[in-house]
Amino acid sequence: MTNKNHENEKNEQLEQHKVDDHGKDMTTNQGTKVSEDEFSLKAGARGPTLMEDFHFREKMTHFDHERIPERAVHARGYAAHGEFEVYESMKELTSAHFLQDPSVKTPVFVRFSTVAGSKGSSETVRDVRGFSTKFYTQEGNFDLVGNNIPVFFIQDAIKFPDLVHALKPEPHNGMPQAASAHDTFWDFIANNQESAHMAMWAMSDRSIPRSFRMMEGFGVHTFRFVNEEGKARFIKFHWKPKLGVHSLVWDEAQKISGKDADFHRGDLYMAIENGDYPEWELGVQVIEEEDEFKFDFDVLDPTKVWPEEEVPVKIIGKMTLNRNVDNVFAETEQVAFHPGHVVPGIDFSNDPLLQGRLFSYTDTQLTRLGGPNFHELPINKPVCPFHNNQRDGMHRQTINRGQVAYHKNSLAQNTPTPAAPEAGGYKHYEEKVEGRKVRSRSESFKDHFSQATMFWNSMSEPEKGHITQAFSFELGKVGDESVRQQVVDMLANINLSLAQEVANNIGVKSPEEGGSNVTKSSPALSQMQSNYKPDTRKIAVLVGEDFDGGELEQILESLKSDGIQSAIIGETFGEQKGKDGKSFEVQHTFLTADSVLFDGIFVVGGESVSKKFRSDANAFMHEAFSHFKPIGASQKGTEWLKEEGLAGHAGVITGEDSTQFAKEFSKAIAAHRHWDRQIL
């Protein structure tokens, strides 16, 4: 496998820390060569092990301390390197250096994550996904620590520990892992109704993404851009994936969890290895400060979106991920993000959720990374120099020279010197603030349901169906009937028929009153509006004995030219030979592959196949069909589809003319799912 080092300052910096052990003599950590690494030192061949065996002691001690605490949330994550470029100067909006010059490529490191599960949990669970980006800019690190959902469960950071306690496995029995489908989570939701909007998103297709490469990212909070003249505007950050926003279906997601718990990391890793570098465009929504109170939501409320139809997303640049990490622990695990890592030109708003996050992120690293010097870890180090009077602490690596470590001083000519804003010193935006100290929530934060209804109104019929099913699944796992009833009653404030359908599914009293008079919708919220491309979609090609190899070759070539990847599935590994002598290497057998691991299937079959082959192929066809995936068939496969009653349905492609067939199949693959299919 290649791990091409794209030239940039961060990659060069990391290079200095890399060690290659291949072909080297083995030594202790002190550099003493080791002569034996299989047997501990003993008094006699059967005797006790001796304390003086320094090599054994050192090796075992190191191993005993190899694990560090996992992240309190977002423990399961995967990351990659890349770069960001702005399309044109953003001078009007911000003075941030990395947003001025389109020829500047800023190195980035991006970590995607699930929220609830432990470090070893499955990746296709229903959950919010983290989307954290560290920009290594010339003015210091800027971290955009976002999610794939644009709103959040709570409005004030003081409630975060409660939310997470309710979400994580229940403390008395440690269950369930990586799932919100349990009593405490839904008890929290019903009793903290500011979460209504986010609960709708969490039950939508957004929380079971097909791939990290096919998710949007959102900064969630309102930030500020400040330009050189000191003019500030409210902004929200968006990442828009070039491949569009696409999801799994729930049954598929659950099955993938068993078949391949690493499904999302595998997908990202292989895309980068194959040179299919994933790309996202960065967008910003901008609200002028003077328009702060012109909307029917408070711009500081993190449970609200700014509908894109009212506040358009201005696309300002592009990020490409182009290099996998060399070492998951050193990079992905040790990276420390913080929404408070900002650069001049980017500032905060008074969103009370953001304000609390500004405290939490450094604090958590002190436990997780063992002290205050985690900024010195290679992955966390800025690419620009950093100088101050901070000293010492656990694991300090920098050797600061000189006598002086305080400000102000005369012995070092009063250096290091704070820089004036004109010379690049960070200047906090001088917002006028006044008020009484109060422990309360602003009245303007009190509408919890209008945008939840707007979200529902914006969904297509299949998306609405998925949300209804998701609520019914999750609440169906809730043991306490009163909690189930409370959630259904809460849903009645969002949409009465949703609440009634869920009530029927889970056996609680169906609300008769309620409903919402909000008719507003925001079409941009539906994933149906997304990009549909065949690029990097993966299909399973089921190939038996005695088939027309020439035709298969031609079809696969045509699909490949559209960016579609295919894997040959056979009964056993080895070569699968066609009647015409053309042979294809089997990449997976029915034992090692499964229809849920592919975006579509292509049934070729063969004149003479075993009963087992036919029944395995049937299982693939029926499962792909029930997951609304594209299915293509040629040769013997066409007959099989007919026999199984699958031919003629939406997204099921057959045809005599192989050129025409390949074109139509490619189109069906680009459509991803065929929702109008009648499920048998």
Cite the active site residues.
74, 147
Considering the complex, what minimum distance in angstroms separates the CB of residue 79 from ligand HDE?
A: 7
Nearer to ligand HDE, 239 or 337 (CB): 337
Nearer to ligand HDE, 335 or 475 (CB): 335
Nearer to ligand HDE, 152 or 661 (CB): 152
Considering the complex, what minimum distance in angstroms separates the CB of residue 328 from ligand HDE?
A: 13
Q: What is the C-alpha to C-alpha distance for residues 203 and 247, in angstroms, rounded to an integer?
A: 12
Considering the complex, what minimum distance in angstroms separates the CB of residue 258 from ligand HDE?
A: 25
- Give the footprint of ligand HDE on residues 610-629 (CB under 6 A): none
> Which range touches ligand HDE (CB under 6 A), out of 352-360, 484-492, 509-517, 607-615?
352-360
Nearer to ligand HDE, 133 or 666 (CB): 133
Q: Which of 67, 66, 152, 160 has its CA nearest to residue 118?
A: 67
Helix or strand or coil: residue 180?
A: coil
Contact between 364 and ligand HDE per CB under 6 A: yes
- Give the footprint of ligand HDE on residues 34-73 (CB under 6 A): 71-73
Q: Do the beta carbons of residue 333 and residue 290 sit within 8 Å?
A: no
> Which range touches ligand HDE (CB under 6 A), out of 206-214, 360-368, 502-510, 625-633?
360-368
Considering the complex, what minimum distance in angstroms separates the CB of residue 111 from ligand HDE?
A: 4
Q: Which of 596, 527, 520, 674 has its CA nearest to residue 201?
A: 527
Q: Under rule CB under 6 A, how many of the chain's residues touch ligand HDE?
A: 24
Q: Bridge partners of 136?
A: 141
- Give the footprint of ligand HDE on residues 214-273 (CB under 6 A): 220
Considering the complex, what minimum distance in angstroms separates the CB of residue 363 from ligand HDE?
A: 7
Q: Is the peptide bond before 462 cis (omega within 30 degrees of 0)?
A: no
- Concatenating the DSSP letter of every residue in 101-119 gives -TT--EEEEEEEEESSS-T
Instruction: Calculate the alpha carbon distances from 155 to 89, 246, 354 in Å.
Output: 34, 28, 9
Nearer to ligand HDE, 332 or 468 (CB): 332
Which residue among 10, 105, 246, 357 contacts ligand HDE (CB under 6 A)?
A: 357
Which residue among 360, 373, 485, 558 contacts ligand HDE (CB under 6 A)?
A: 360
Helix or strand or coil: residue 639?
A: helix
Q: What is the C-alpha to C-alpha distance for residues 108 and 320, in angstroms, rounded to an integer?
A: 9
Considering the complex, what minimum distance in angstroms separates the CB of residue 334 from ligand HDE?
A: 10
Residues in Cβ contact with 472 at an 8 Å cutoff, skipping those fewer than 6 apart: 501, 502, 505, 506
> Which range touches ligand HDE (CB under 6 A), out of 144-152, 403-411, 436-444, 485-493?
144-152
Which x/- pattern over 396-435 shows residues binding ligand HDE (rule: CB under 6 A)? ----------------------------------------
- Concatenating the DSSP letter of every residue in 198-263 gives HHHHHTSGGGSBS-GGG--EE--S-EEEE-TT--EEEEEEEEEETT---B--HHHHHHHHHH-TTH
Which residue among 111, 210, 246, 466 contacts ligand HDE (CB under 6 A)?
A: 111
Which residue among 147, 207, 453, 486 contacts ligand HDE (CB under 6 A)?
A: 147
> Which range touches ligand HDE (CB under 6 A), out of 30-38, 358-366, 435-443, 507-515?
358-366
Q: Do the beta carbons of residue 116 and residue 125 sit within 8 Å?
A: yes
- Give the footprint of ligand HDE on residues 180-219 (CB under 6 A): none
Contact between 155 and ligand HDE per CB under 6 A: no
Residue with tokens 């063992």: 370
Nearer to ligand HDE, 121 or 360 (CB): 360
Q: Which of 283, 187, 309, 204 has its CA nearest to residue 250?
A: 204
- Concatenating the DSSP letter of every residue in 310-327 gives TSPPEEEEEEEEEEE-S-
Contact between 494 and ligand HDE per CB under 6 A: no
Considering the complex, what minimum distance in angstroms separates the CB of residue 448 from ligand HDE?
A: 17
Q: What is the C-alpha to C-alpha distance for residues 264 and 271, in angstroms, rounded to an integer?
A: 11
Nearer to ligand HDE, 77 or 534 (CB): 77
Q: Angle at Cα 65 formed by Cα 60 and Cα 68, nearest 5°?
A: 155
Task: Annotate 62-97 with b (16+ C-beta within 10 A) or e (fewer).
Answer: eeeeeeeebbebbbbbbbbbbbbbbeeebeebbbbb
Helix or strand or coil: residue 290?
A: helix
Considering the complex, what minimum distance in angstroms separates the CB of residue 677 from ligand HDE?
A: 36
> Which range touches ligand HDE (CB under 6 A), out of 1-9, 146-154, 247-255, 458-466?
146-154
- Give the footprint of ligand HDE on residues 112-141 (CB under 6 A): 113, 130, 132
Considering the complex, what minimum distance in angstroms separates the CB of residue 272 from ligand HDE?
A: 18
Which residue among 353, 603, 653, 662 contacts ligand HDE (CB under 6 A)?
A: 353
Task: For residue 257, count other CB atoms closer than 10 A to its CB.
Answer: 17
Which residue among 14, 77, 345, 630 contacts ligand HDE (CB under 6 A)?
A: 77
Nearer to ligand HDE, 207 or 486 (CB): 207
Q: What is the C-alpha to C-alpha distance for residues 307 and 7, in angstroms, rounded to an integer?
A: 39
Contact between 304 and ligand HDE per CB under 6 A: no
Contact between 157 and ligand HDE per CB under 6 A: yes
Q: What is the C-alpha to C-alpha distance for residues 198 and 351, in angstroms, rounded to an integer?
A: 16
Instruction: Calculate the alpha carbon distances from 238 to 65, 289, 496 in Å.
Output: 39, 20, 32
Residues in Cβ contact with 322 at an 8 Å cutoff, skipping those fewer than 6 apart: 4, 6, 80, 81, 82, 83, 272, 277
Task: For residue 222, count other CB atoms closer than 10 A to its CB.
Answer: 24
Considering the complex, what minimum distance in angstroms separates the CB of residue 356 from ligand HDE?
A: 4
Nearer to ligand HDE, 131 or 277 (CB): 131
Contact between 369 and ligand HDE per CB under 6 A: no
Residue nearest to ligand HDE (CB): 130
- Give the footprint of ligand HDE on residues 329-348 (CB under 6 A): 336-337
Q: What is the C-alpha to C-alpha distance for residues 181 and 183, in angstroms, rounded to an integer?
A: 7
Nearer to ligand HDE, 185 or 602 (CB): 185
Considering the complex, what minimum distance in angstroms separates the CB of residue 537 from ligand HDE?
A: 27
Nearer to ligand HDE, 115 or 503 (CB): 115
Q: Which of 591, 598, 655, 659 has its CA nearest to residue 625?
A: 598
End-to-end Cα distance, the chain: 43
Nearer to ligand HDE, 77 or 307 (CB): 77
Considering the complex, what minimum distance in angstroms separates the CB of residue 440 from ligand HDE?
A: 17
| Residues found near ligand HDE in the complex (CB under 6 A) | 71-74, 77, 111, 113, 130, 132, 145-147, 152, 157, 160, 220, 336-337, 353, 356-357, 360-361, 364
